[in-house]
Amino acid sequence: MRKVIITASLTGGVQTKAANPNLPEQPSEITQAAYECLNEGAAIAHLHARDKEGKPTGDVKIFKEIHEAIRAKCDIIIQDSTGGGPGLSFEQRLECLEAEPEMASLNMGSMLRTIGKTAGTTWANPRPELERFAQEMLKRNIKAEMEIYHHGMLREMQNFMDKGLIEKPYYVNFVLGMAYQGAV
């Protein structure tokens, strides 16, 4: 039988309880969701953090609180999002790495948003910032999950491999069906 690795994205960086009242936003809710996903076969919990008002945050204290609670409850691999959510600066997006997850996402480029309140805006992920994310992950021994939203990002992934910014074995996530220009 072929083995697969299931990653559960518990909260995401955009939707809120207004879209789904069952969305886990607070640390206790995220912890319970990680536990339930592990029991259903997930190996990795992909985490976005929210503040008390439910807005995306990169606050390392909140990430640490979530990590500690998950590690006390179950043995699932913790993967933080460096994509964060709308409005977070690069510094805020980088802050989650201080919480010492086993893995972290690494978006491989920029995209144009095509629907919703942010339609027509760019989700900017310039190479220098992405290289800094990758360097920080290497320095902290955090496994990068390269997120590929469109075929142009495959070349950027190869660039990171060639520069030694990511290490084997490579972990790649093809993010399908997003409402971004060029998304696969």
Residues 125, 82: Cα–Cα separation, whole Å: 11
Q: Is residue 58 part of a domain?
A: yes
Query: Is 179 a residue whose pLDDT tops 80?
Result: no
Confidence of residue 138 (pLDDT cuts 50, 70, 90): very high
Q: The domain containing residue 79 runs over which residues?
A: 7-181
Contact, 168 vs 142, CB < 8 A? no
CA 163 to chain centre: 22
What is the reported pLDDT for 42?
98
In this predicted model, what pLDDT tens digit does every residue of 34-53 receive, in sequence order?
A: 999 999 999 999 999 999 99
Q: Is residue 1 part of a domain?
A: no
Q: Is residue 54 part of a domain?
A: yes
Residues 28, 150: Cα–Cα separation, whole Å: 34
In this predicted model, what pLDDT tens digit does every residue of 139-169 receive, in sequence order?
A: 999 999 999 988 889 999 999 999 999 999 9
What is the reported pLDDT for 68?
98
Point out which residues pair with 174 in neighbouring strands.
148
This prediction's pTM: 0.92
Mean pLDDT of the chain: 92
Q: Is residue 100 part of a domain?
A: yes
More confident residue, 174 or 32: 32
Residues 147, 44: Cα–Cα separation, whole Å: 15
Find all residues with CB under 8 Å of 3, minimum gap 6, and list them. Answer: none
- The CATH number of the domain holding residue 102 is 3.20.20.70
What is the reported pLDDT for 121?
80
Count the Cβ atoms, other than its own, within 10 Å of residue 39: 10
What is the reported pLDDT for 184?
46
Alpha carbon distance, N-terminus to C-terminus of the chain = 28
What is the reported pLDDT for 181?
62
In this predicted model, what pLDDT tens digit does every residue of 83-133 receive, in sequence order?
A: 888 788 999 999 999 999 999 999 999 888 777 777 788 888 999 999 999
**107-142 burial code (b ≥16 CB/10 A, e <16):** bbbbbebeeeeeeeeebebeeebbeebbebbeeeeb
Q: Is residue 161 part of a domain?
A: yes
Which 3 state secondary structure label does DSSP give 36? helix
Q: Is residue 33 part of a domain?
A: yes
**DSSP secondary structure, 40-76, as one string:** TT--EEEE-EE-TTS-EE--HHHHHHHHHHHHHH---
Q: Is residue 167 part of a domain?
A: yes
Count up the domains in the chain and report the number. 1
Q: What is the CA radius of gyration of the chain?
A: 16
